[in-house]
Amino acid sequence: MDRNYYKLYYKIEREHWWFVARGKMLMNHINGVFEGKKDLKILNVGVATGRTSELLQQFGTVDSIEFDEECYEFTKETVKIPIQQGSILELPFEDNQYDLVCAFDVIEHVAEDYVAASELERVCRKGGVVCVTVPAFQFLWSQHDVVNHHFKRYTKSDFLKLFRTKLIYSTYFNFLLFFPIALFRIISTLFKKNQNTTNKTDSELETNPIINKLLHFIFFLENPFLKNRIKLPVGVSILASFRK
């Protein structure tokens, strides 16, 4: 892809309401799971332009891995974090290495999702935690999924079947915006079903500053639920954490 794409994505990961609110909620969840520990050895898989790795540094040392070679080169040069190029299907790390293994919206990018889950568990040490998010509900499939090269969306029950380690907590999230987002995507899909879907832009990421702040406020209202491990009945995404 054009280098300008990664420059734009770098900005989106740090300013867009969904990325910002999700990042804060995930870090609050992890902080609760580890009871405030700050000396963890962490692996972050599928880091894109590295914002989640920056956030995870508050808990310890972070190794990062990104599959896309051009994105890897951009992130290595721009963010200056320890990063390798590689696949979630064959992680270049020894068994039982990490206290925390994260894959935020990554598993949906590979067809062999069971292999990806197994690899995340393999490199996690005994007593460590695997924390993952994926998009929810196949009926929400839209241009957004096509542009982002997703293979599928999940129900929570199907997603949890991929893992063999002990479940700590799982929930749907992005619950408050679930119904308007579902309506928007269904209508958009109906109108676009006969159109070319190879466009590499994603209109869902285009918001003006006022709407961006409003949507961030609404999404972040779910923080107490995730922080206190209260399960939400539906949502645009799924969060799950497991202890090996």
Residue 198 has pLDDT above 50, yes or no: no
Q: How many CA atoms lie within 13 A of 243 on its CB side?
A: 6
Calculate the average pLDDT of the chain. Answer: 93
pLDDT at 2 over 90: no
Q: What is the pLDDT of residues 200-239, one digit of tens each?
A: 445 566 678 999 999 999 999 999 999 999 999 999 999 9
Instruction: Give me the domains of the chain, ranges plus CATH numbers.
Output: 3-243 (3.40.50.150)
